[in-house]
Structure 1
């Protein structure tokens, strides 16, 4: 599978497993899982040739580790980023002292005034390092990085969860726990 096809397939999987499973006639279970056989059949019905080997390649080589197989390998889901309602079954986890959020520079005034909200997604996404936050922010324009006082927020009873691919998830971050991180 060449790189162009891998990226195209990954984007299509993201759409189906995070946002619009109905586009291919799929239904996610409450945990966000769908049977691999059903997914491959849905691709085939629409003239999109995708073998299990190709799917394995996309899952294994995705640089953001967006997808995961169930323990028995018969189901697949996105690790986070859903706009459709799913329960990933992630337990509350004590976060590190500081987490980071990458965004576009133009959104900073609103975020610093209102805090971080999930917008169309189920959760706010945070990273453990500045480099990842910069990459995320760069997708939306000139990047800006916010420093999140995660441990301080968690001490108030606020819940954090860690996805299978290392993305920290939470429902909101109030503005008092945010500061702009200087990118130098």
Structure 2
């Protein structure tokens, strides 16, 4: 599968597994899962023919490991696996789902990529999830830089995750290594880069 098609399929999956499943007639379960065959049929009905092989390729090849495929109804293969009959997005939902991720102790520091135009609000209010369920934090500066660069010249914020955790804030980590927090108050942020 060529790179343009891979990107197109990944964006299609993100749209319908994270934000607008109803647009193609999908209903995600409470944890964000949907049957792979149901997804493929819905996509075809709405003019986006997608084979199982293409879906498996996108799940396996996606550098951000955005999706997980698993067997049955008791969990299964972690992010990037392609064996199974259910699929979900690993994080970033704007629709109501409970990813059922346990609390986890974060590393001492995490990172968040942003742009200059967001900094006044961040200084005043900290990081908020906006339309998503959680604030997304990266385990390294390089990833945060790439995230910030999607919206312009990136700035990287260092999050004192260790201090936040000691202060009682809860962190979770998705199957693809993205750290999630309900919010990050300004006092735990430092601008670098």
TM-score of the two chains, using structure 2 as the length reference: 0.92
1:144 match: secondary structure? strand
Q: For residue 38 of structure 1, what is the aligned residue in structure 2?
A: 38
Q: In the alignment, which residue of structure 1 is the partner of 2:67?
A: 67
CA distance in 1, matches of 2:32, 2:8: 21
Aligned partner (choices 139, 142, 148) of residue 131 of structure 1: 142
* In 1: Cα distance, 2:18 partner to 2:49 partner: 21
Counterparts of residues 73-92 of structure 1 (less than 5 Å): 73-92=84-103
Q: Is the counterpart of residue 167 in structure 1 residue 167 in structure 2?
A: no
The range that moved more, 65-74 or 119-128, is 65-74
> Corresponding residue for 2:26?
26
| Number of matched pairs | 182
Q: Which runs of 5+ in 1 are unaligned?
A: none
Instruction: Give runs of ≥4 in structure 1 deviating > 4 Å.
Output: none
Q: Which residue of 1 aligns with 2:107?
A: 96
For 1:139-154, list aligned pairs within 5 A.
139-154=150-165
Query: Which residue in the other structure is 1:11 paired with?
Result: 11
Flag structure 2 segments of 5+ consecutive residues without an equivalent: 73-83
Deviation at 1:49, TM superposition (A): 1.8
- Matched position secondary structure for 2:170: coil
> What is the CA–CA distance in structure 2 between the aligned matches of 1:154 and 1:164, rounded to whole Å?
20
1:51-66 alignment runs, 5 A limit: 51-66=51-66
Q: What is the root-mean-square deviation of aligned Cα atoms in Å?
A: 0.9
1:106 is displaced (CA, Å) by 1.6
